[in-house]
Amino acid sequence: MTLLSRAWSPRLAEPVQDSDLQRTSLFDTALGACGIAWSERGVTRFQLPEADRAATQRRLQRRVAVNPGPHDPPPAIREAITLVRRYLAGERVDFSPITVDLAEVGEFHRKIYAALRTVGWGQTASYGDLAKQVDAPGAARAVGQAMGRNPIPVIIPCHRVLAAGRGIGGFSAYGGTVTKERLLALEGVHLGSGQLALPGLLPARR
């Protein structure tokens, strides 16, 4: 099975009742060590860089209950890793063809994530926009909760979701909203915080 296809619409693995055994791997990017987990159906987790490589590994393993690894990625996962590396190096990348496995995610959150995957590079949407797209107007807060619990950030691009009036909103990855703004800046979206001129994913430590 390949995780990449030429289809324009985002691919979503069919949910199942039992969890597959998952595997994990860390890989280096221009912005630090990232982690990825997968089942036989697709990507199950993605971990942005933490304070250091060991912290990234620990965070990823805490989120994967079975066979935390590390493991050698199969060819399809290596393709997904290549896309992430290109993206974090500043290249315009489309993640929608990557198959994700959201079997452990509730139905409402799966709908939100599917809608979010249609928000492309350099675009943003509000929590309310996504709520309307899944026919749940007034559910902006629930959308915000889905963003905070997103198991596959970047690939499912929760950093592109803003509060009303283009406020930054929240971000649960290490570094919080600074990380979110840094990812948006890679896509040419600047919200005017003035904190993004430093190298790497996060501001330099004092």
| Active-site residue set | 158
Exposed e or buried b per residue across 76-87, where buried means at least 16 C-beta atoms within 10 angstroms of its C-beta: bbeebbebbbeb
Residues 6+ apart with CB under 8 A from 168: 162, 177, 180, 181, 191, 193
Q: 156: which 2 tokens?
A: 């499912």
161's enclosing H/E stretch is strand 161-162
Q: How many residues does the chain have?
A: 206
DSSP annotation string for 96-125: TTS-B--TTS-HHHHHHHHHHTTS-TT--E
| Rounded Cα gap, residues 178 and 170, in angstroms | 10
